[in-house]
């Protein structure tokens, strides 16, 4: 999986990994959430399409659960997309499997994007790539937290109000060099809920790049309704 990236002006190549091996049980559907319908297409296809809109991406590895028999119809995606049925027990393990399948050199860039974020726009993706490509560490799309934050006790009662000034909510894609990502995802992955948290464990400070509200993660039934409204209006 080592095709050259046509028309890329970056020295390093740019790859993408889409972890899509989760069960998505919190949404309460009969199929994993990445296969729920969004305007006539599975959510996963929408998320892959969002990456394919960026011509600088050479190869996209979609990581599926080992027992997942679903594949897109022949010809649905271009040859940049590869399906890897080697997902792990956690998101981080699935990403690690995708990374292992890429013939990426240490300095090549890898974008990791959740299958459950179908609302990524070409504009936000390009902003991430353009901002991070010269960064020594890498970075991620994220949004400054707008709501007032409450710390809850086990009875859902407020313990305190947290200062929100410096808080951002992480999104994907997250973009790091393959070498850094390999180190970040090596060994014990406890607490590594996104790539940036693994990179932070290495003592590095990823760059925050402003994302967009429609790039939310579809997690609960309400999120699915919102995503369906978005795609009934043509998506991004």
x-or-dash string of contact with ligand C5P, 144-173, rule CB under 6 A: ------------------------------
Among 14, 16, 17, 20, binds ligand C5P (CB under 6 A): 20
Closest distance between ligand C5P and the C-beta of residue 232, in Å? 22
Coarse DSSP helix, strand, coil percentages of the chain, rounded to the nearest 5 percent: 30, 25, 50
The answer to whether residue 21 forms part of the interface with ligand C5P (CB under 6 A) is yes
> Segment near ligand C5P (CB under 6 A), from 87-95, 118-126, 178-186, 202-210?
87-95
- Give the total of residues touching ligand C5P (CB under 6 A): 18
Kindly report the CA angle at 191 between 188 and 195, in degrees rounded to 5?
Answer: 85
27 conformational bin, left if phi > 0, alpha if psi -120 to 50, beta if neither:
alpha
Residue 88 interacts with ligand C5P (CB under 6 A)? yes
* Least distance in angstroms from the C-beta of 92 to ligand C5P: 8
Kind plus residue range of the DSSP H or E element containing 38: strand 37-38
Q: How far is the CB of 78 from ligand C5P (least distance, A)?
A: 21
Give, for 171, the enclosing helix (H) or strand (E). strand 168-177
Strand partners, 174: 112, 140
Does the footprint of ligand C5P cover residue 118 (CB under 6 A)?
A: no
Q: Residue 82: which H helix or E strand, with range? A: strand 81-84
Please pick, from the candidates 13, 14, 22, 81, the single residue that binds ligand C5P as defined by CB under 6 A: 22
The C-alpha angle with vertex 140 and arms to 82 and 116, in degrees rounded to 5, equals 50
63 lines the binding site for ligand C5P (CB under 6 A): yes
Residues that bind ligand C5P (CB under 6 A): 19-22, 24, 34, 63, 87-91, 94, 114-116, 217, 219
């Amino acid at each position: 999986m080592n095709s050259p990236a046509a028309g890329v002006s970056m020295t390093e190549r740019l790859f993408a990994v889409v972890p899509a091996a989760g069960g998505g049980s919190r949404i309460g559907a009969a199929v994993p959430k990445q296969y729920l319908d969004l305007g006539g297409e599975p959510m996963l296809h929408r998320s892959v399409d969002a990456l394919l809109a960026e011509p600088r991406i050479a190869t996209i590895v979609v990581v599926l659960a080992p027992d997942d028999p679903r594949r897109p119809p022949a010809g649905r995606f271009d040859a940049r997309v590869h399906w890897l049925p080697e997902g792990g027990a956690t998101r981080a393990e699935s990403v690690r499997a995708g990374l292992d399948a890429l013939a990426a050199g240490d300095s090549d860039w890898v974008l990791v994007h959740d299958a459950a974020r179908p609302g990524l726009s070409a504009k936000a993706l390009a902003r991430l790539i353009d901002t991070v490509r010269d960064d020594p560490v890498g970075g991620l799309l994220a949004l400054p937290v707008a709501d007032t934050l409450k710390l809850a006790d086990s009875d859902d009662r407020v313990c305190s109000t947290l200062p929100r000034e410096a808080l951002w909510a992480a999104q994907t894609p997250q973009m790091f060099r393959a070498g850094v990502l390999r180190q970040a995802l090596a060994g014990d992955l406890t607490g590594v809920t996104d790539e940036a948290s693994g990179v932070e464990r290495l003592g590095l400070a990823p760059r925050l790049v402003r994302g967009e509200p429609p790039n939310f993660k579809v997690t609960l039934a309400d999120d699915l309704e919102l995503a369906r409204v978005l795609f009934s209006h043509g998506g991004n």
